[in-house]
C-alpha cells in the first residue's frame, strides 16, 4: 500500500558492489516505505540475488560506492547479525543445509535474539513450542521438520517454506524474499503467498525477487522494478510485470538504450 | 641415543612382576635411542617435545596427583566402578570390585605376559618400550558378565613428572562392558599409558577414551586390542589440550568375523600437536571395520592422523571403511592425514577417503543472517561437526567435559 507520508524504511543510493574486483551492482537506487510491497524482476544474472545479499551483509561482496540506509541507520556499517537483529530478513534463493544443527534449536535461538532486540521477553523451550506451532500452521509445514537438521535433506519447496517459517518467527521490518516462489507447486505458492500477506503490516515492507507474474497475482506489488546489468532500469506498477510476462526483457533494454543514446 | 641411555640409567633397578618387561624394554630403548624423522611412524612428531618428556623425573611417591577437572564431575555416580590409576600404588588398594571383575593372580599375569607377543612388540615399538621400561604397577582384570556396571579408569598426572601406567583387561566370552578411560594432563606433566584388551568370543566392549591435557602436558598412549570372532569393539576418543599427544589404537581381529568401530575426534588450538596412529589388522575372513576420524585444527596447532589397515590373503570378505574428515580453522594450522591400506586378499570391500576443508562460509552467513553472532555461529557449526563423534560417548562420559566450554576456546 502506497502512502507517500509513511516512513522510509530502506534507502539504497547509487550502490556499487563487486566480487573479486568484478563489478556486479553498478548504481542501484531504491526507496522502500513502510507498508509497501516491491517486486524486483530481471534476467538471470542481472544482479538480483547480489543486491539482496549485499543488503544482508554477505562477506563475499565488496561495496565500492553508494549507501544503504535502514530506518535512517547506515546498514553497511553493521555486521550481518546486527542487520538481522534490527529487522532485515533475507529469504535465500538457495537456503544452505546445516547438518548437525537442529532446526528447532536454531529457530529458537534466532527468535529469541530478535525478541531481545524488540524488547520482548525471551521464550523458553515450552513457550517457543507453542509459538512455533502457530507459525507452522501459517505455512502449513509438518512439525517433523523441526526435529531435523537445518534444511538437511529438505526438498526445494520445503526449504522455501522453512524460510517463510523463519520470517514468520522473526517478524522483520523488511523482508527480502529471493525467488521464494521458484520450486513451489501451485498449492504451496498460495500457502506461502498467504503467509506473506498475513505477515505484512502497515509498518513493515516486503521486497519480492521473482521471475513470475504468478506470485504477483497472489501478493500484489505496489512497485515493479526491472534489473539489468546491476542497475534498476525501469520502475512501474503491477502492469509492468504483465507486460514483461508477454514481451520479455528485450523491449525494455532497447527502449532504455535508445533513450540513453539521445 | 644419549637421551634414552641417560633416562634409563636414572630408573630404579628392575623389580616386581614386571621385572622381565622392564629389563627387555630398557635394553630396547637403549638400542633404539630417540625416534627420528626418518622413521615413517615418527615423521611428523615434534621430537623436541618428545625429548622434553625424557627430561622429566619419573613420578615419585607422595606427589600430589592432579585430575584436571571439576571435582564434582570426577565423583562417580553409584552405578560406576571407578578406579584411579596412581602410577606408584596398587590401584586396587582402595577399590572394592563388584561381581564379575577379578584381579589376575601374579601367576596368571605372568602367563599372560609370557604368552602374548609382548616381548616382540617391545622390540618393535618405541612407545611400548618406553612404557614398560618404567612401569612398576599394573592393573590386570578378568571381566565376565552381561549385566556389568560401567568401568571407569581415571589416569591422573603429576605436574613436572613422567607417569607411566599399565592396564590389562580380559573380557571373557559373551561379556558386555562399557569402559571409560579418562586421561588428564596438567601443567608440564607427561604420561605414558598402555592398555591391553582382549575381547573374548561374542563379547562386546564400548570403549570411550577422553584425553584432556593442559599447559605443556604430553601423552603417549597405546590401546592394544585383540578381538576374538563374533566380538564387537567400539572405540570413541576425544583428544584436546596437549602440547604433544599421540594415541595409538592397534586392533587385531585374531580370526576375523569380528566388528570394529573406531571414532576419533581431535580438537587442537594454540601450538598443540595431536596425533592418532591407528592400525587394524584382519587375521581372518569376514571382519568389519567402520572408522571415522575427525579433526578441528585452529591457531598454530598441528593434527596428525595415520590409519593403517592390513588385509592379508586370509582375510577374504573383509569389509572396511575409513574416513578422515578435517576442518582447518586457521591458515597457520596444519593437518596431515594419511590412509595406509595394505590389501592382499582379493574378495574384499575396503574404502577410504580424506577431506580437509574450512568452515563453510555460506553456513556461517546463513546463521549470521538470522541474528546469530559470528562466534556463536562458529561454535554451533563446530559443535555440529563434533557431534558425529560425541554421539558415540556413553552418557556418563559427558560429565568429564563440557563441549560448549571446550569449543568456546577454539577460534
Ligand atoms: N560470489 C560470486 N562470485 C562470482 N560471481 C558472482 C558471485 N555472486 C554473483 N556473481 C555473478 O554476478 C552476476 C549476478 O548474479 P546474481 O546471483 O545476483 O544474479 P540473479 O539476478 O540473482 O540471477 P538469477 O535470476 O539466475 O537468480 C552473475 O553473473 C553471477 O555469476
Ligand atoms: Mg538470484
Residue B185: what pLDDT? 93
Selected residues 362-391 of chain B with any CB under 8 Å from a CB in chain A: 362-363, 365-374, 377, 380-381, 383-385, 387-388
* A179 DSSP 8-state letter: S
- Tell me what pLDDT residue A260 has: 54
pLDDT beneath 70, residues of chain A? 256-262
What's the full length of chain B, in residues?
Answer: 411
CB neighbours of residue B52 within 10 Å = 17
CB contact under 8 A, A149 and B384: yes
In whole angstroms, give the CA distance from residue B246 to residue B277.
7
Judge contact between B367 and A59, C-beta under 8 A: no
Question: What is residue A40's predicted lDDT score, i.e. its pLDDT?
Answer: 97
CB atoms within 10 A of CB A31: 13
| Domain range annotation of chain A | 8-261
pLDDT band at B61 (very low <50, low <70, confident <90, very high): low
- Cell triple for A4: 507517500
Look up the pTM and report it: 0.85
User: Who among A60, A84, A99 is closest to B369 (CB)?
Assistant: A84
Q: Which ligand is nearest to the CA of A54?
A: 1
DSSP readout, A95-159?
Answer: PPPEEEEEHHHHHHHHHHHHHHHHTPPPP-HHHHHHHHHHHHHHTT--THHHHSEETTT--HHHH
Sheet of A62-70: strands edge to edge? A22-33, A8-19, A62-70, A73-74
Question: What is the pLDDT at residue B65?
Answer: 56
The pLDDT of residue B256 is above 50: yes
Contact call for A81 and B384, based on CB within 8 A: no
Tens-digit pLDDT profile for residues B147-188: 999 999 999 998 899 999 999 999 999 999 999 999 999 889
CATH of A8-261, one of 3.40.50.300, 2.40.40.20, 3.40.920.10, 3.40.50.2000: 3.40.50.300
Residues B89-126 pLDDT 10s: 776 766 778 999 999 988 999 998 888 788 888 988 99
Reported as a single tens digit per residue, the pLDDT across B329-358 is 999 999 999 999 999 999 999 999 999 998
For residues B293 and A214, which has the higher predicted lDDT (pLDDT)?
A: B293
Confidence of residue B72 (pLDDT cuts 50, 70, 90): very low
Structural domain boundaries of chain B?
A: 2-358
Quote the pLDDT of residue B236: 98
The average pLDDT across B241-246 equals: 97
Q: Is the CB of A24 under 6 A from ligand 1?
A: yes
Using a CB-CB cut-off of 8 Å, the residues of chain B touching A90 are 369
Q: What is the pLDDT of residues B1-46, one digit of tens each?
A: 678 888 898 888 898 888 999 999 999 999 989 999 999 999 999 9
Test mutation, B361, B369, B387, B389, chain A, max A CBs within 10 A: B369
Average model confidence (pLDDT) across chain B: 91
Q: How far is A148 from chain B (nearest CA, A)?
A: 13
Please report the pLDDT score of residue A227 as a whole number: 96
- Going by the DSSP 8-state scheme, the letter that residue B161 receives in this structure is S
For residue A204, the 8-state DSSP code is -
- What's the CA-to-centroid distance between A53 and ligand 2, angstroms? 10
pLDDT at residue A165, as a whole number: 95
Q: Write a three-state SS string for B233-260.
A: EEEEEEEECCCEEEEEEEEEECCCCCEE
Top mean-pLDDT range of A133-142, B300-309, B374-383 = B300-309
**Predicted local distance difference test score (pLDDT) of residue B67:** 52
pLDDT of residue B62: 52
Chain B residues lying within 8 Å of A84, measured CB to CB: 368-371
pLDDT tens string B174-227 = 999 999 999 999 889 999 999 999 999 999 999 999 999 988 999 999 999 999
Task: Give the integer Cα–Cα distance in Å for A43 and B395.
Answer: 54
Amino acid at each position: 500500500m502506497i502512502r507517500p507520508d509513511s516512513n522510509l524504511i530502506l534507502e539504497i543510493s547509487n550502490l556499487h558492489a563487486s566480487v573479486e574486483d568484478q563489478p556486479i551492482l553498478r548504481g542501484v537506487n531504491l526507496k522502500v516505505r513502510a507498508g509497501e510491497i516491491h517486486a524486483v524482476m530481471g534476467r538471470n544474472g542481472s544482479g538480483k540475488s547480489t543486491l539482496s545479499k549485499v543488503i544482508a551483509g554477505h562477506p563475499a561482496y565488496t561495496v565500492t560506492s553508494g549507501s544503504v540506509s535502514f530506518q535512517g541507520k547506515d546498514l553497511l556499517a553493521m555486521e550481518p547479525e546486527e542487520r538481522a537483529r534490527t529487522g532485515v530478513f533475507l529469504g535465500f534463493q538457495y537456503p544452505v543445509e546445516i547438518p548437525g544443527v537442529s532446526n528447532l534449536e536454531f529457530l529458537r535461538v534466532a527468535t529469541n535474539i530478535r525478541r531481545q532486540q524488540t524488547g520482548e521477553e525471551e521464550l523458553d523451550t515450552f513457550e517457543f513450542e507453542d509459538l512455533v506451532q502457530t507459525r507452522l500452521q501459517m505455512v502449513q509445514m509438518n512439525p517433523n521438520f523441526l526435529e531435523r537438521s537445518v534444511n538437511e535433506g529438505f526438498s526445494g519447496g520445503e526449504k522455501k517454506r522453512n524460510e517463510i517459517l523463519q520470517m514468520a518467527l522473526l517478524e522483520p521490518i523488511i523482508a527480502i524474499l529471493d525467488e521464494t516462489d521458484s520450486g513451489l507447486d501451485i498449492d504451496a505458492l498460495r500457502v506461502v503467498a498467504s503467509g506473506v500477506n498475513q505477515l505484512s503490516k502497515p509498518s513493515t515492507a516486503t521486497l519480492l525477487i521473482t521471475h513470475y507474474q504468478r506470485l504477483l497475482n497472489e501478493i500484489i506489488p505496489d512497485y515493479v522494478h526491472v534489473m539489468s546489468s546491476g542497475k534498476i532500469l525501469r520502475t512501474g506498477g503491477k502492469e509492468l510485470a504483465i507486460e514483461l510476462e508477454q514481451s520479455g526483457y528485450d523491449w525494455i533494454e532497447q527502449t532504455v538504450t535508445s533513450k540513453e543514446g539521445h | 641415543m644419549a637421551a634414552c641411555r641417560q633416562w634409563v640409567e636414572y630408573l630404579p633397578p628392575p623389580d616386581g612382576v614386571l621385572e622381565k618387561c622392564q629389563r627387555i624394554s630398557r635394553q630396547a630403548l637403549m638400542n633404539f635411542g630417540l625416534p627420528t624423522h626418518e622413521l615413517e611412524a615418527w615423521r611428523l612428531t615434534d621430537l623436541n617435545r618428545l625429548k622434553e618428556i625424557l627430561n622429566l623425573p619419573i613420578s615419585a611417591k607422595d606427589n600430589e596427583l592432579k585430575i584436571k577437572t571439576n571435582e564434582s564431575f570426577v565423583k562417580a555416580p553409584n552405578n560406576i566402578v571407578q578406579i584411579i590409576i596412581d602410577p606408584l600404588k596398587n590401584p586396587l588398594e582402595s577399590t572394592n570390585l563388584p561381581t564379575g571383575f577379578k584381579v589376575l593372580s601374579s601367576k596368571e599375569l605372568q602367563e599372560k605376559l609370557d604368552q602374548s607377543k609382548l616381548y616382540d612388540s617391545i622390540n618393535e615399538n618405541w612407545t611400548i618400550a618406553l612404557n614398560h621400561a618404567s612401569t612398576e604397577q599394573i592393573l590386570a582384570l578378568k571381566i565376565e558378565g552381561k549385566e556389568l556396571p560401567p568401568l571407569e579408569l581415571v589416569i591422573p598426572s603429576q605436574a613436572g613428572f613422567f607417569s607411566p601406567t599399565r592396564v590389562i583387561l580380559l573380557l571373557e566370552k559373551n561379556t558386555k562392558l562399557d569402559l571409560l578411560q579418562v586421561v588428564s594432563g596438567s601443567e608440564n606433566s607427561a604420561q605414558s599409558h598402555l592398555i591391553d584388551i582382549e575381547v573374548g568370543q561374542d563379547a562386546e566392549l564400548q570403549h570411550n577414551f577422553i584425553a584432556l591435557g593442559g599447559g605443556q602436558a604430553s601423552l603417549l598412549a597405546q590401546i592394544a586390542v585383540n578381538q576374538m570372532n563374533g566380538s564387537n569393539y567400539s572405540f570413541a576418543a576425544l583428544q584436546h589440550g596437549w602440547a604433544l599427544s599421540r594415541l595409538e589404537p592397534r586392533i587385531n581381529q585374531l580370526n576375523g568375523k569380528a566388528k570394529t568401530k573406531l571414532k576419533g575426534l581431535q580438537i587442537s588450538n594454540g601450538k598443540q600437536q595431536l596425533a592418532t596412529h591407528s592400525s587394524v589388522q584382519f587375521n581372518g575372513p569376514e571382519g568389519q571395520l567402520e572408522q571415522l576420524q575427525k579433526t578441528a585444527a585452529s591457531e598454530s596447532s598441528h593434527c596428525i592422523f595415520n590409519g593403517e589397515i592390513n588385509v592379508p590373503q586370509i582375510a577374504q570378505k573383509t569389509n572396511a571403511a575409513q574416513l578422515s574428515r578435517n576442518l582447518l580453522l586457521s591458515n597457520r594450522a596444519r593437518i596431515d592425514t594419511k590412509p595406509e591400506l595394505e590389501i592382499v586378499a582379493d574378495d574384499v570391500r575396503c574404502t577410504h577417503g580424506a577431506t580437509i576443508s574450512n568452515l563453510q562460509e555460506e553456513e556461517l552467513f546463513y546463521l549470521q543472517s538470522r541474528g546469530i553472532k559470528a562466534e556463536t555461529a562458529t561454535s554451533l557449526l563446530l559443535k555440529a561437526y563434533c557431534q558425529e563423534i560425541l554421539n558415540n560417548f556413553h552418557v556418563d562420559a559427558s560429565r568429564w567435559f563440557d563441549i560448549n566450554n571446550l569449543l568456546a576456546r577454539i577460534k
